[in-house]
Amino acid sequence: PEFGLFKGRNKLAVQQHREVLEKFGRYPQRNVSFGRENTDAESAWLNDKENLPIWAGGKLSIEQTIK
């Protein structure tokens, strides 16, 4: 069967999530909720709002690549 959910923007969003998990092994924007300390790399990533995905509290659209 063909799954329309993973076409277009949703596919790009999945890719962004995958990139974050590959880079950090977790979602850094969830650290506060789980009582975890940020690593230096996570803090730098979270503070770079221009390159932080919208779903993580930043300004990077789904169509853009995570740095």
Alpha-carbon distance values, 15 to 31, 39, 54, 65 (Å): 21, 23, 14, 9
Q: Is residue 7 very low, low, confident or very high in pLDDT (cuts 50, 70, 90)?
A: low
Percentage of the residues of the chain whose pLDDT score is greater than 70:
82
Q: What is the mean pLDDT of residues 31-52?
A: 95
Domain ranges in the chain are 1-13+28-67
Using only the alpha carbons of the chain, give its radius of gyration: 13
Give the Cα-Cα-Cα angle 11, 14, 20 (nearest 5 degrees): 145
Residue bearing the bigger pLDDT, 63 or 47: 47
Backbone angles phi and psi of 34, in degrees to 5: -100, 5
pTM of the predicted model as reported, rounded to 2 decimal places: 0.77
pLDDT at 58 over 80: yes
Q: What is residue 60's predicted lDDT score, i.e. its pLDDT?
A: 78
